Amino acid sequence: MANYTINVNGKAHQVEAAPETPLLWVIRDELGYVGTKFGCGIGQCGACTVHIDGVAMRSCQQPISSVSENNYQITTIEGLSENGEHPVQQAWLEHDVPQCGYCQSGQMMSAASLLNQIPNPTDEDINTGMAGNICRCGTYTRIHAAVKTAAGKLS
Amino acid sequence: MSTHQTRRNFLKVSTAAGGGFLLGFSFLTSCEQKPAAVAMAPELKMPEQWTQLNGYLKIGENGVVTIINPNPEIGQNVKTSMPMIIAEELGVDWDNVIVEQGKLDTENFSRQIAGGSQSIRQGWEPLRKTGATARAMLIAAAAQQLEVPATELRTEKGMIYHDASGKSVGYGEVASLAATLDVPEEVELKDPKDFTIIGQSTKNVDARKIVTGQPLFGIDTKREGMLYAGIVHPPAFGLELKSFNADAALAMPGIVDVFAIDCAPEGKQLQWSDGPTVRKQVAIVGKSTWQVLQAKQAIEVEWEQTSAPETSAGHKEKMADLIANGKAEEARRDGDPEAAFARAAKIVEATYSAPFLPHNTMEPMNFFAHVTEDKAELYGPIQTPEFLEKTIATLFDMDPAQIEVGMSRMGGGFGRRLYGSFGVEAALISKAAGAPVQLTYSREDDMTQGTYRPDYLVKYRAGLDADGNMIAFHVRGTGTHGSPIFENRFPAGTTDNYLAEKISMDSNISTGAWRAPASNFIAGAEQAFLDEVAEAAGKDPIDFRLELFDRAIKNPVGERNDYDAERYAGVLKLVREKSGWDADSGDARGVAAYYCHNSYVAQVLDLTLDTSGKPQVEKVYCAVDCGIVVNPEGALNQIEGGIIDGIGHALFGQLTFTDGKPDQSNFNTYRLIRHPEAPRQIETSFVENGIAPTGLGEPSLPPVIGALANALYQATGERVYDQPFMGSLPG
């Protein structure tokens, strides 16, 4: 066990954890940001997606020891905006995307990261950018439309 | 419309009315009380004081209404659509409604189950009556307060108006008086043409919380003093716990205890929902989920082989043998099938198979429990809370009154959470650990200790006369723990000579309901087979089906046909029109239609092959007859989801077994459909007919597998018979 300082949603948090502890479990169990979901634990489903310095990363694959350095800024769904006003969140509401809703925070974090990198994505860009996030309910067509709407709001 | 019921029944539980539905609501539980914690949208709040008018409604003095959603929410959107039905008849402004998830409450509610796409169908009348009865009582109270006849009052958006005098009063101002009045024995229900909420697209009431990551799901539960728990279950079917050594695990950081639990002790009467329970498992309790997940891998377990290990290859062989030689139950026979086949000009024969499928809800199985000597509190994702309560009562010798079961929003259900063994495990662990616990399965636990969609094999034969008329039809099917055949479904009733045979296969692999049980396989098989028969008959596949429906409408064979042929033909005609079937779309097209869970669905699917031959579904046209559409946006979402889910599982889904052990255990080896593989477009049309609504959680999934198979044939020239289809395709 060791002490780490991590910056999550604009705040510095002191945590005590084993160095290999995945960021996912630190932010869920220790910090209480439960919007970030556990889906597979092996970086395959995308439910645990957060931003590290604005880029989508699988938090289940990031040991706490690797994200406490260099003043990395970690953003979870709770920190994407103050009150859900991020264009991606607004587009998700407009398209009534969620069914069960469990994978959607990861989907939205991937979408927001995609739009950071490619503000006006083509269909192919969206397909590639969102391929890492699984939705068992089958909301992909709505996600696709919502990413386009969000892109429109950002431009 | 006027409905009548005796007061006694209304106050208690109306049982077996109209064929056995159960849904109770008691009025007069009037009380002024302070809310403990009212779940609410941030912009809308209940006042400090409110009146509880019945099990479903709390009305604040300011007119804000809380409607309790009785049924478990698994993503089928009942948390929005069931309260919409109450709000419609109550006559309130939806913007003034807060929806709160109900707990298990057998006094006030019945059938608190998410299953079989039945919540809306079975809830329709009782929910309407609940709203209408409350409205009638509010009117009666207003009549007293305003000193005018009740018959001269009208309601609109939570207000009661007496037009002649210009007086008006809000629901909130008369609610406490209303709660003291007699419950009317008869209430008027609205004419559907006057609906203002039903039929309007209404956003998911939890959407804002979902998109901002608020705690909604069982796995998000956190309580004071709570420990985190995990289980170690047998790695293969056919094994049972013999002994374990937890020394290494106990030495790891954060680990509090490791012990065995027995989920099915001798002499305890369990529920059907406990059927697939693994009896003895090793439980581990610690201070964080990660520590538990790590340490459980360090537990050394000795397993005992108690029944023979099975393999997927062995299952295929055994099922093929059962189809060829097995003794079958003759489920239905019309006419003389053998003689008709003997005189047929042409016989078409085909055999279809499908593998086991895990549910793979994105939220792994988990549950919170706090069990003490005299009290059990359980909370989490469960489709069958009442059955969980019964099992807990049995296991701990408790009265149901000592047990509280709460339902979280669920990260998917698809049938997996009908079987609440994870709740039982959490309760046993809590009791043994002497602490509140949150049990969480790893993805591997979840995928390898499932209640899987059974593997199936079915053989079809059809006999055609010289004019291409189907004169004989024979289906013979088997599957693990049951045959997938529905003997009275289409095309039963359309063919003079018909035989349906069922064979069940034993196995030690646990199976259960999986989104549209059995239909999820048999619809695809049947619709692919009929496509092949239509081709052999030289007929357009839609014309061929419509001819059969025409027969079933005008002169049906037998009296037990489990469908309405006109509604069935109706969706097929609608999809033909909407898809421009009779013109060439340029893409390979397949058609299918199916009726299950009381709703009718027909689909036309267009696909292309990429340069490697991998299919891409371009567009799915879907026609649906589910009667009145309560929430169009929610309905579309369910239909689209079922289509994508069906295509994904038909293309990629399979759980295979070697020596009793699942070969796939996580998403690196198990393939679910991903974003780029989803249809580019889905266009849904509804039949408008004013019939009482039926459910949509399942019906769009089964037929799309047939439409996909038929489109693949058009694209490749090869028929696909064995799921997953990608097993025989490139990419």
- pLDDT tens figures, A89-105: 999 999 999 999 999 99
Give the residue from chain B lying closest to A137, CA to CA: B641
Domain stop point among B386, B407, B440: B440
Whether B200 and B233 map to the same domain: the answer is: no
For residue A84, which residues of chain B lie inside 8 Å, CB to CB?
Answer: 208, 211-212
pLDDT at B348: 98
Whether B75 and B182 map to the same domain: the answer is: yes
Percentage of chain B exceeding pLDDT 70:
94
pLDDT at B267: 87
d(CA B644, CA A140): 8
Beta carbons of A45 and B638 less than 8 Å apart: no
Q: Which two tokens stand for residue B648?
A: 């994904």
- CA-nearest of B177, B209, B187 to B59 is B177
d(CA A113, CA A56): 5
Domain stop point among B440, B470, B493: B440
d(CA B517, CA B697): 12
What's the gap in Å between the CA of A44 and the closest CA on chain B? 6
pLDDT, tens only, B609-665: 999 999 999 999 999 999 999 999 999 999 999 999 999 999 999 999 999 999 999
pLDDT at B9: 29
For residue B114, which residues of chain A lie inside 8 Å, CB to CB?
Answer: none
Domain A2-79 is found in CATH 3.40.50.720? no
Which CATH number fits the domain that encloses residue B7?
A: 3.30.365.10
Q: Which two tokens stand for residue B611?
A: 């340069």
pLDDT at B731: 52
Beta carbons of B672 and A93 less than 8 Å apart: no
Mean pLDDT along residues B204-227: 97
pLDDT, tens only, B679-731: 999 999 999 999 999 999 999 999 999 999 999 999 999 999 999 999 866 55
d(CA A60, CA A62): 6
**Secondary structure class of A126 (helix, strand, coil):** helix
Q: Which two tokens stand for residue A136?
A: 């068992």
- Evaluate if residue B33 carries a pLDDT over 50: no
Using CA atoms, how far residue B691 sits from B89, B121, B344, B622, in Å, is 17, 11, 41, 19
Whether B228 and B89 map to the same domain: the answer is: no
Mean pLDDT along residues B225-242: 97
d(CA A137, CA B505): 30
Pinpoint the residues of chain A covered by CATH 1.10.150.120.
Answer: 87-154
Whether B570 and B691 map to the same domain: the answer is: yes
Question: Alpha helices, DSSP H only, in B400-557?
Answer: 421-433, 443-448, 519-537, 541-554
Mean pLDDT along residues A34-41: 98
The answer to whether residue B249 is domain-embedded is yes
Whether B278 and B194 map to the same domain: the answer is: no
Whether B528 and B394 map to the same domain: the answer is: no
Q: Which residues contact B46 (CB under 8 A, 6 or more apart)?
A: B35, B38, B40, B58, B60, B64, B66, B98
Rg of chain B's alpha carbons, rounded to an integer? 27
pLDDT at B586: 82
B210 closest CB neighbour out of A30, A36, A98: A98
Q: What is the band of A20 on the pLDDT scale with cuts at 50, 70, 90?
A: very high
Percentage of chain A exceeding pLDDT 90:
95
d(CA B597, CA B122): 12
Beta carbons of A34 and B440 less than 8 Å apart: no
Whether B398 and B334 map to the same domain: the answer is: no
pLDDT at B437: 98
The answer to whether residue B547 is domain-embedded is yes
pLDDT, tens only, B140-152: 999 999 999 999 9
Whether B173 and B295 map to the same domain: the answer is: no
Question: Beta-carbon neighbour count of residue B267 at 10 Å?
Answer: 6
- CA-nearest of B688, B535, B527 to B594 is B527
Give the residue from chain A lying closest to B293, CA to CA: A41
- Evaluate if residue B538 carries a pLDDT over 50: yes
For residue B214, which residues of chain A lie inside 8 Å, CB to CB?
Answer: 35
Mean pLDDT along residues B72-84: 95
| CATH (one of 1.10.10.10, 1.10.540.10, 1.10.150.120, 3.20.20.140) for A87-154 | 1.10.150.120
pLDDT at B45: 75
Strand partners, B54: B27
Mean pLDDT along residues B46-72: 85
pLDDT at B191: 96
d(CA B281, CA B442): 15
For residue A44, which residues of chain B lie inside 8 Å, CB to CB?
Answer: 666-668
What's the gap in Å between the CA of B424 and the closest CA on chain A? 22
In chain B, the number of structural domains is 3
pLDDT at B275: 74
Pinpoint the residues of chain A covered by CATH 3.10.20.30.
Answer: 2-79
Whether B15 and B66 map to the same domain: the answer is: yes
Strand partners, B300: B245
Higher-pLDDT residue of B338 and B19 is: B338
d(CA B560, CA B361): 36
d(CA B62, CA B60): 5
d(CA B96, CA A101): 24
- Evaluate if residue B490 carries a pLDDT over 80: yes
The answer to whether residue B174 is domain-embedded is yes
Mean pLDDT along residues B667-690: 97
The answer to whether residue B315 is domain-embedded is no
- Which of B31-35, B222-226, B434-438, B486-490 has the weakest average pLDDT? B31-35
Question: Does residue B530 contact residue B351 with C-beta atoms inside 8 Å?
Answer: no
The answer to whether residue B314 is domain-embedded is no
**Residues B708, B711, B713, B717, CA torsion sign:** negative
Mean pLDDT along residues B580-597: 92
Q: Specify the residue for token string 């109306």.
A: B14
Beta carbons of B682 and A141 less than 8 Å apart: yes
- CA-nearest of B653, B286, B686 to B456 is B653
pLDDT at B729: 66
Q: What is the band of B594 on the pLDDT scale with cuts at 50, 70, 90?
A: very high
* DSSP class of B510: -
Whether B112 and B160 map to the same domain: the answer is: yes
Beta carbons of B213 and A39 less than 8 Å apart: no
- Evaluate if residue A140 carries a pLDDT over 50: yes
B443 closest CB neighbour out of A28, A36, A40: A40
Whether B411 and B461 map to the same domain: the answer is: no
- Evaluate if residue B41 carries a pLDDT over 50: no
Give the residue from chain B lying closest to A29, CA to CA: B288
* DSSP class of B32: E
B212 closest CB neighbour out of A25, A47, A89: A89
**Three-state helix/strand/coil letters over A8-72:** ECCEEEEEEECCCCEHHHHHHHHCCCCCCCCCCCCCCCCCCEEEECCEEEEHHHCEHHHHCCCCC
pLDDT at B107: 85
- Which of A31-45, B268-282, B419-433, B508-522 has the weakest average pLDDT? B268-282
**Secondary structure class of B127 (helix, strand, coil):** helix
Beta carbons of A44 and B442 less than 8 Å apart: no
Mean pLDDT along residues A109-123: 98
d(CA B472, CA B677): 39
- Evaluate if residue B172 carries a pLDDT over 60: yes
- Which of A1-5, A35-39, B52-56, B250-254 has the weakest average pLDDT? B52-56
Q: Which residues of A65-74 are buried (b: 16+ CB within 10 A; e: fewer)?
A: eebbeeebbb
For residue A98, which residues of chain B lie inside 8 Å, CB to CB?
Answer: 75, 204, 206-207, 210-211
Higher-pLDDT residue of B240 and B277 is: B240
Mean pLDDT along residues B40-54: 65
Cis peptide preceding B491, ω within 30 of 0: yes
d(CA B459, CA B320): 9
pLDDT at B43: 55
Q: Which residues contact B586 (CB under 8 A, 6 or more apart)?
A: none
pLDDT at B11: 28
Element (H, E) at A113: helix A104-117
Q: Which two tokens stand for residue B384?
A: 């069958």
**DSSP assignments along B228-258, one per residue:** EEEEE--SSTTEEEEEEE-HHHHTSTTEEEE
* Residue range(s) defining the domain that contains residue B224: 218-307+365-440
**Secondary structure class of B398 (helix, strand, coil):** coil
- Evaluate if residue B133 carries a pLDDT over 60: yes
pLDDT at B373: 96
Q: Which residues contact A19 (CB under 8 A, 6 or more apart)?
A: A2, A63, A64, A65
Higher-pLDDT residue of B278 and A27 is: A27
Q: Which of B617, B675, B684, B704 to mutate to test the interface with A (most CBs of A within 10 A)?
A: B675
Beta strand spans in B436-547 (E) = 437-440, 456-464, 470-480, 497-505
Whether B301 and B431 map to the same domain: the answer is: yes
d(CA A109, CA B389): 38
> Which residue type occupies B697?
G
Beta carbons of A100 and B410 less than 8 Å apart: yes
Mean pLDDT for chain B overall: 92
Strand partners, B371: B376
